[in-house]
Structure 1
Amino acid sequence: MQHFLPYSKKLTVFVLALAAFLLILSQPSLAEESHTPVWSLPKIVLKGVPFSIDIADATELQQQTLFIQLDEKVYQGELADGKLTFADLSTEQASAHVVLLSDGHQLDSAEINALPGWFSLIPALMAITMALLLRNVMIALFVSLVTGIWMLYGLTLPGLGMAILDACQVYVVDALTEREHMEVVVFCFLIGGLVGIISRNGGTMGIAERITRVVKNRSQTQLSTSFLGIAIFFDDYANSLIVGNTMKKISDTMRISREKLAYIVDCTAAPVSAILFVTTWIGFQVGVINDGLSTITGFDESAYSVFLNSLLYSFYPILAIVFVLYIAGTGKDFGPMLKAERRAFHTGRVLSPAMQQDSGPAPEEKDMEAKEGVPHRAINAVIPMCVLIGVTMAAIYFTGLSSPDRADDSLREIIGNANAFASMMYGSVAGCIVALLMTMAQRLLSVHEITDAWFAGAKAVMLVIFVLTLAWSLSAVNTELHTSDFLISALGDTLNPNLMPVTIFLLAAFMAFATGSSWGVMGIMMPMVVPLAWAVLVFNDMTGAEHMHIFYSSVSGVLAGAIWGDHCSPLAESTLLSAMASGCDLIDHVRSQMLYCLVVGGVGMLAGTLPAGFGAPWWLCMVIGAVTLWLVVQMWGQRAEDPLPHPHKSHAHKPDVEPA
């Protein structure tokens, strides 16, 4: 042992010396550090699509002595903020040979793979196609993500293995470690937890019971259901579960068909949550809008401000709410819904013949049920939600006034300068704290029960987080594949700016109808639509304030189209949840509301999105759309209470149950 120790020491010294020697050899010499700049090369480029190469920390370099040679063309860089940029480089070769020159001498060279431009669309097209075929947005997004990364590795066999590993280890981790992304994730968890607490402590049931106390007839029942759907605005899933199950018993008493109940529930869920300022939808929408804005150079408006401005052009969600209020208030129906209402009123069968008995509560209902024995006090939901909204709005205003010299700014400028993510965090934290304190003060739930309720609500938004994370990751891959650059170069100078909003609206509607996921559609389309819409305006020299309606309308086209397609799709989770919570057969629900959704979508497109793209005032389009829908109801609508057409005593239907 004594002889071994000296030998081991010598061996250790030798290994350390060898390691130090190899480390020194691996380091660039001082001459190399001082004379050879470090340039940032793209992983791949697209044939015929301009790209750029940057040299960081180039303040001490002489701009005029550095050039890049590509395909026998020589490019000179521009020095700005200490960075030397060689812009508008382009190649038509499959492998581009790039040479960095200084006074005619070669400093460095590299090979860059160049793919055909349409290759950059493969991940996005694959996401759409797989979502259509598999009816699963999560799998579609993940496979598309791996495919895009594989393309960055040159589509080699070893690259496929690296792409699978990098999908989670690099891109998903990068998406979740970005501060703004994590703010959205935490906000979704907080507001989901708040929904869990106020549902469990009886607050949301208190709101429902307050509204239902004034119901006396069929029309009031339908209006009460609509207003309850609007009141529970903070989450569309909570909306469907609470409103459907709360109003089911009283609507049966008033002989309202389950198809009608499911329609009202569905049309006051997603459309309401999508357009109000503080909901579980807002973090997602602002997040994907911000992802698209991050690729635009020189655009200084915040994502939250873009979202607020786009709401003015969200014709389908707003008109869908207006139309359901028309239908509920007048008691008139047409098409399959009128047939269902006549069946329910004249025979007492609220369920269709295809559905012989109530399917029972939805599986998700247990997480939203109030604890047995707790009083149903509306104030326990109203106050936390008011705190949430009030604190968020106040924080948006004060963070927008970040410096004294902004005191004279307009409200729009203040909102545009605000930190929306931080403001939503402040509001959701305040709402959770108030809900917790009110619940503990009244001894409605124990501390453990409050914690369980919060986690139950947070768990409900996990799917949202997964979809959003994969959408962020795919967006990062699309950026490296220069997808937006290709779309801009291919469509920027050919797509009619005035027709762009309606084109985006129709495309988003088709995707949502086929996939059944409005969130998936927004996650895939928004990061590409935002830079494309701006590039089209740039190409056509239409970036002034008088043309911004085209940009905002294009952004809203993704949201409005996604909700429209979602409403018409039997695959949509919100459609399924509304049917289950209302105790209605899914196919009956889709068939009965399909005509209504098509009418509202058609009017919203022809009277709203299309003319707004050509500069028509948004408020005028909204008024025309609302008036048109009112005329449709008055001209074609009939009440279920009215006598049946062409009555014959021998064929008259005898009610199975006496009217309530």
Structure 2
Amino acid sequence: MNKTFLTFFILLLSVNAQTLDFPSINLNDVPFKITIKNYPDSLKSVSVNILQNEKNIQSILFDKSSLEKEVTVNLNGNFQISSNEIKNLNGEFRVIPGWLSIIPPLLAILLALLLRQVIVALTAGIVIGAFFIYDFNFFIALLRFVDTIMIDTLVNRENSMIIVFTLLFGGVIGIISKNGGTVGISNLVTKLAKTAKSGMLSSWLMGLFIFFDDYANTLIIGNMMRPITDRLRISREKLAYLVDSTSAPVASIFIISSWIGFELGLIATGLRSVNSDINSYELLLQTIPYRFYPIAALFFVFLVAYTQRDFGPMYKAEVRARTTGKLFDNKSIESNLDDDSLFNNSDKAKWYNGAVPILVILFGTIAGLIYTGILNLTNKGITDFGLREIIINSDSFLALMWAGFAASVTAVIMSIGQKILSLNEAINAWTKGVQSMLFACIILAFAWAISDVTEILKTADYLISILSDSLDPRLLPVLVFLVCAAVSFSTGTSWGTMAIVMPIVIPLSFKMAELHGLNFSTDPTILAGVVSSVLAGSVFGDHCSPIADTTILSSMASHCNHIDHVKTQLPYAIVVGVVCMILGDLATAYGLPTYIAIPLIFFALYLIIRFFGKKVSEAVV
């Protein structure tokens, strides 16, 4: 009986024991917060001392009205915390130079530029971050990289669901590519191509239809449209431009594509790092109108096709093709993409075999969002709500995972039911599709890990401490766009760029907003602009880069010399990018609504193609 009472008494004391909450690692001369939990009613004030080598560096006074204090330490090393009034109120933390906190992401970016290997770059950034976190012990840092940092990343529930959805979506793409569904969708559009103008517009329209994956978009359109554009004397350079400009730009802005899980995962991680209650899916939707480059790139393709005007190297290529019938400059590369598994069962191609599974994902996600939103609101006791409240309280990760599974089952049943594929063939196609997404999932995991490292090292806090006095937060969107464009162009990977930059800029945006009195919950313009600039800038750099996979695939699928493709496309991409930065990123950050900015961008691009572009038909005469 006495033992039971004593145990109960100890547990009661432990529940109400006073504790200090503070970061274990802090930066020199960068503020951090110390909080007292379970403040004792018997004390009017509590003094907390920060010690180094038993020498009192500073004292902080707490009372009932002030349980959280912001502290700045301008020395490096190990520190102890103790209290005169409460003996068990103690702890330890380390302070390191602030500039060390930016080394992990900077090293990742630098190595990505030099080695063009994103996984190696991210690994180096994570390990060097762990080296700083674990008291500059390289051996311990390597162990913690494997058994703590990566494991914590993978066991996170939201992270796991995003990976599952990404793999499921890859499986769906694998099946509808194998059963002829993607070819069936393309065949609907190719019937419209009768003239050079309609041929280019058909390519553009096909790019909009095949929105679910940039690789599938590139390979399908290039190979399906090439015989048609050859017959219509459209240059291979123009075809490659049409293909490339309707791949990543389309997939990146559609809410149902192979990109969404990746984008959502990065955004959710960034929001989680600042303990924000903003719904990641809602923020993702809010960024779409701010993704000026992908939107404008698609419109510019339409302008070029509809007006039949070109400028720069593209004009010369089109004149050559129309006047001489010479579709390429005798340097076209061979390709065996016609034999790719994407074009199997083309004789049984039916558009609904591709459309129905994609529609299942689309409507399944919507249904899942509504269901989880209503369920969560009901569990909170809220009965009066609208669609906005439902979406905000929904579980987008769960909805996506359910929809991906339903689409996989649908695609398998449709393929087997029509006897297009056997069960083994359907499962093999699904497996190959899943395998195609493994690299993306690996990048995601490493991106989450470096995000955790930069959060522990307070990279955003350090950046804000040196930028807050000199940088207007409204300049962040355009600066982020430029940084992402440079990194993506140099590395050739938009996903790798997003993985490196997103974990830094979301916390940075929140810190700068806090200092300048901005509230992202009521006015998300800057946050949406910054996040969209990461996504749009990465697409822009990838679109221009000669080492980008989609750029290379566009050249191969179009049977166009790769350097010719890059030279002819680059002027168009740069023009669109500059217009978007000025009339999009800058203008909206200073208050211009997107519904005005986007038409202004469209009008500016029309003026450019109208007054600087020349009609190819004029050259023929």
The answer for the alignment partner of 1:209 in structure 2 is: 187
**1:125 paired to 2:106:** yes
* Correspondence for 1:517 among 481, 493, 502: 493
Cα distance in 1 for partners of 2:142, 2:67 equals: 33
The answer for the alignment partner of 2:120 in structure 1 is: 139
Q: Residue type matched to 2:535 in 1?
A: L
Structure-2 change in CA distance of 1:322 and 1:30 (3 Å) = closer
**1:320 paired to 2:293:** no
Asked if 1 retains the 8 angstrom alpha-carbon contact of 2:20 and 2:89, the reply is no
**1:307 paired to 2:275:** no
* Correspondence for 2:59 among 42, 55, 74: 74
Give the CA deviation at 1:358: 4.0
Give the CA deviation at 1:30: 10
Cα distance in 1 for partners of 2:407, 2:42 equals: 57
Asked if 2 retains the 8 angstrom alpha-carbon contact of 1:236 and 1:270, the reply is yes
For residues 175-254 of structure 1, the aligned pairs below 5 Å read 175-254=153-232
Give the CA deviation at 1:238: 1.1
Q: Which deviates further from its counterpart, 86-95 or 436-445? A: 86-95
Q: Which deviates further from its counterpart, 538-547 or 611-620? A: 538-547
Structure-2 change in CA distance of 1:308 and 1:79 (3 Å) = farther
* Correspondence for 1:604 among 558, 570, 580: 580
Structure-2 change in CA distance of 1:62 and 1:337 (3 Å) = farther
Number of aligned residue pairs: give it: 604
Cα distance in 2 for partners of 1:516, 1:55 equals: 48
Q: Which deviates further from its counterpart, 47-56 or 202-211? A: 47-56
* Correspondence for 2:311 among 318, 331, 334: 334
**1:366 paired to 2:340:** yes
Asked if 2 retains the 8 angstrom alpha-carbon contact of 1:264 and 1:324, the reply is yes
Q: Residue type matched to 2:311 in 1?
A: F
Asked if 1 retains the 8 angstrom alpha-carbon contact of 2:460 and 2:511, the reply is no
Asked if 1 retains the 8 angstrom alpha-carbon contact of 2:322 and 2:620, the reply is no
* Correspondence for 1:291 among 254, 257, 269: 269
Counterpart of 1:349 in 2: which secondary structure?
coil
Asked if 2 retains the 8 angstrom alpha-carbon contact of 1:200 and 1:368, the reply is yes
Q: Residue type matched to 1:69 in 2?
A: N
For residues 465-484 of structure 1, the aligned pairs below 5 Å read 465-484=441-460
Q: Which deviates further from its counterpart, 606-615 or 425-434? A: 425-434
Cα distance in 2 for partners of 1:388, 1:264 equals: 27
Q: Residue type matched to 1:609 in 2?
A: D
Give the CA deviation at 1:452: 0.6
Cα distance in 2 for partners of 1:66, 1:367 equals: 71
For residues 581-600 of structure 1, the aligned pairs below 5 Å read 581-600=557-576
Q: Residue type matched to 1:474 in 2?
A: I
Cα distance in 2 for partners of 1:172, 1:255 equals: 53
Cα distance in 1 for partners of 2:403, 2:43 equals: 50
**1:350 paired to 2:327:** yes
Q: Which deviates further from its counterpart, 112-121 or 68-77? A: 68-77
Structure-2 change in CA distance of 1:46 and 1:362 (3 Å) = farther
Q: Residue type matched to 2:325 in 1?
A: G
Cα distance in 2 for partners of 1:274, 1:644 equals: 37
* Residue deviations 1:49-78 (CA, integer Å, cap 9, x gap): 12235677x477867565421253222458
Q: Residue type matched to 1:165 in 2?
A: L
* Residue deviations 1:341-363 (CA, integer Å, cap 9, x gap): 1112222221223x1x4411349
* Residue deviations 1:215-235 (CA, integer Å, cap 9, x gap): 111111111111111101011
**1:94 paired to 2:76:** yes
Q: Which deviates further from its counterpart, 501-510 or 486-495? A: 486-495
Structure-2 change in CA distance of 1:484 and 1:342 (3 Å) = same
Asked if 2 retains the 8 angstrom alpha-carbon contact of 1:266 and 1:578, the reply is yes
Asked if 2 retains the 8 angstrom alpha-carbon contact of 1:225 and 1:247, the reply is yes
**Contiguous gaps of at least 5 residues in structure 1:** 1-28, 646-660
Give the CA deviation at 1:102: 4.0
* Residue deviations 1:217-268 (CA, integer Å, cap 9, x gap): 1111111111111101011111111111111121112111111111111111
Asked if 1 retains the 8 angstrom alpha-carbon contact of 2:239 and 2:558, the reply is yes
Give the CA deviation at 1:295: 2.2
Give the CA deviation at 1:378: 0.7
Cα distance in 2 for partners of 1:617, 1:285 equals: 24
Asked if 2 retains the 8 angstrom alpha-carbon contact of 1:63 and 1:77, the reply is no
The answer for the alignment partner of 1:567 in structure 2 is: 543
Structure-2 change in CA distance of 1:54 and 1:328 (3 Å) = same
Cα distance in 2 for partners of 1:190, 1:422 equals: 13
The answer for the alignment partner of 1:542 in structure 2 is: 518
Asked if 1 retains the 8 angstrom alpha-carbon contact of 2:24 and 2:92, the reply is no
Asked if 1 retains the 8 angstrom alpha-carbon contact of 2:264 and 2:280, the reply is yes
The answer for the alignment partner of 2:374 in structure 1 is: 401
Q: Residue type matched to 1:99 in 2?
A: I
Structure-2 change in CA distance of 1:61 and 1:462 (3 Å) = farther
Give the CA deviation at 1:525: 1.3
Q: Which deviates further from its counterpart, 262-271 or 58-67? A: 58-67
Counterpart of 1:352 in 2: which secondary structure?
coil
Structure-2 change in CA distance of 1:91 and 1:244 (3 Å) = same
Cα distance in 2 for partners of 1:460, 1:180 equals: 21
The answer for the alignment partner of 1:256 in structure 2 is: 234
Structure-2 change in CA distance of 1:35 and 1:118 (3 Å) = same
For residues 106-117 of structure 1, the aligned pairs below 5 Å read 106-107=87-88, 112-117=93-98
Asked if 2 retains the 8 angstrom alpha-carbon contact of 1:291 and 1:475, the reply is yes
Structure-2 change in CA distance of 1:325 and 1:499 (3 Å) = same
Asked if 1 retains the 8 angstrom alpha-carbon contact of 2:81 and 2:90, the reply is yes
The answer for the alignment partner of 2:362 in structure 1 is: 389
The answer for the alignment partner of 1:5 in structure 2 is: none
Cα distance in 2 for partners of 1:181, 1:77 equals: 38
Q: Which deviates further from its counterpart, 86-95 or 225-234? A: 86-95
Q: Percent identity between the aligned chains?
A: 36
Cα distance in 2 for partners of 1:541, 1:317 equals: 31
Cα distance in 1 for partners of 2:289, 2:278 equals: 17
Structure-2 change in CA distance of 1:78 and 1:144 (3 Å) = farther
Give the CA deviation at 1:36: 8.1
Give the CA deviation at 1:549: 1.2
Give the CA deviation at 1:510: 1.4
TM-score (norm 1): 0.86
Asked if 2 retains the 8 angstrom alpha-carbon contact of 1:226 and 1:268, the reply is yes
